[in-house]
Amino acid sequence: MKTSTRVLLGLALTMALLVAAALWLGRTDDGSGRTVLRLRVWDEQFVAPYRASLAEFERANPDLEVRITVVPWASYQQKLRLDVAGGTADDLFWTNLYEDYADAGRLVDVGAALGPDAASGWDPAAVTQYTRAGKLWAVPQFVDGGTAVFYNRDLLAAAGVDPGELDAVRWGPGADDTFRPLLRRLAAVAPWAYNAADDFQSIELPYLGSAGGQFQRDERFVFDSPQGVAAFTYLTRLIADGLAPSAADTETDSEFAKNAFLQGKLALFQSGTYNLAQIARQAPFDWGIAMLPRGPVGRVSTNNAIGVAGNAASAHPDAVRRVLTWLGSAEGNRHFAQDGATVPAVVADQRIYRDFWAARGIDVSPFFDVLAGPRISAGGGPGFTAALEAVQNVLGEMFRGRIPVPEALSRARAAGEAAVRSG
């Protein structure tokens, strides 16, 4: 055989192999005829509940398989933006900042796909969060509940503080402030009394709301109000007075305050249900849960929800619809509650969560009772992801004491608005 003939045959064989590989990599089945869908999440601890739920689904739908991809939170939003823009996003994916995708036509219209009654059994606040321009853009999976305060009973006892005192304290100017004196008592027996920090959901929003302020109004940033100045001044002074960990620690390690609480170095840890399971497993001391401190206008919390969105560009829209229907059902959603991992978005399943913790002697009512009062929205709108990052970058400098509070809030608002314009 001539050399040139061998070369041509070799090239032809190589091309055939490349084509076969491309066809195989582009397959959306596993060789058995089943359609394979991919679901993207950002938290490894939810893989087990999803697998349990989807195993039931797959038994009833043997023509479908759903595989789970975990992309860590630190890179999740950026990677999702790139993948959606490039047409390589998963068929279904977690979202909490969805507006840009909805406005660009990148998401499945859940109401049209699942029917007008689909949302009737879901947490109303979660439905509101994922409704835009009169349409629903994600199937709520779980809600955080409100914010509450975990406390170390041993440290409270050492400081002579009765846990009942926590439910009566209030923060505010002058003589109205009973929270700071209580924190001083706790600081006498622990390295830190409380986790005042640059924590958007658990600290900043509750203080801003309980001061009478808002983060956004009509999708415009308004947190640099007199109420915002009062809230952030109070928080930064707690840090400056040594009643809370240094911002240098909490800014570089988002887990610092939680770990300090678990190590018995922090008396009060203000947070949400998303940390309950870990504290229950790892805290080596007796602990409990109390209500948020009151502010000038009372107790105000937010109630964030995580939803699953359908990729409008999926090659299998009917399969996506079937999975969304299952994940939004009581049968599909209940797996999130069975080990106390989180609060299901299906209202009928939320009792499972509360019963789980009640059976272990843990009263989770503060996370729910606070939601009976006013709530503060976490915000949203076009470009919100980039805008929030820009805002938090400035607020981080404020918490470190490098920028005075009024100036920092003004600069943070300007940075957020600039990010929205550039997006």
Residue partners of 42: CB distance under 8 A and separation at least 6: 70, 71, 72, 73, 76, 94
CB–CB of 269/149 below 8 Å? yes
Render pLDDT for 6-60 as a digit per residue (tens, 0 to 9). Answer: 433 444 444 444 434 433 433 455 566 899 999 999 999 899 999 999 999 999 9
Using DSSP, state whether 132 is helix, strand or coil.
Answer: strand
Residue partners of 378: CB distance under 8 A and separation at least 6: 200, 201, 205, 215, 302, 304
Using DSSP, state whether 226 is helix, strand or coil.
Answer: helix
> In the numeric block, which tokens belong to residue 364?
């989770």
Using a 10 angstrom Cβ sphere, with 0-12 exposed, 13-18 middle and 19 or more buried, the burial of residue 252 is exposed
Using a 10 angstrom Cβ sphere, with 0-12 exposed, 13-18 middle and 19 or more buried, the burial of residue 206 is buried
What is the model's pLDDT at position 22? 38
What parts of the chain have a pLDDT lower than 70? 1-32, 423
Give the sign of the dihedral formed by CA 40, CA 41, CA 42, CA 48: negative
State the Cα–Cα distance between residues 143 and 328, nearest whole angstrom: 13
CA 229 to chain centre: 25
CB–CB of 261/195 below 8 Å? yes
What is the model's pLDDT at position 116? 87
Q: Which amino acid is at 252?
A: T
Question: Which stretches of 90-241 are assigned E, i.e. beta strand?
Answer: 92-95, 131-132, 135-136, 139-143, 148-152, 216-217, 220-221
State the Cα–Cα distance between residues 365 and 148, nearest whole angstrom: 9
CA distances from 362 to 277, 342, 354, 358, 367 (A): 11, 14, 9, 5, 12
Render pLDDT for 60-106 as a digit per residue (tens, 0 to 9). Answer: 999 999 999 999 988 999 999 999 999 999 999 999 889 999 999 99
Among 188, 183, 156, 193, residue whose Cα is nearest residue 285: 156
Dihedral pair phi/psi, residue 134, rounded to 5°:
80, 5
> In the numeric block, which tokens belong to residue 68?
């789970």
Q: Which domains, ranges and CATH numbers included, belong to the chain?
A: 35-143+304-345 (3.40.190.10), 148-302+363-421 (3.40.190.10)
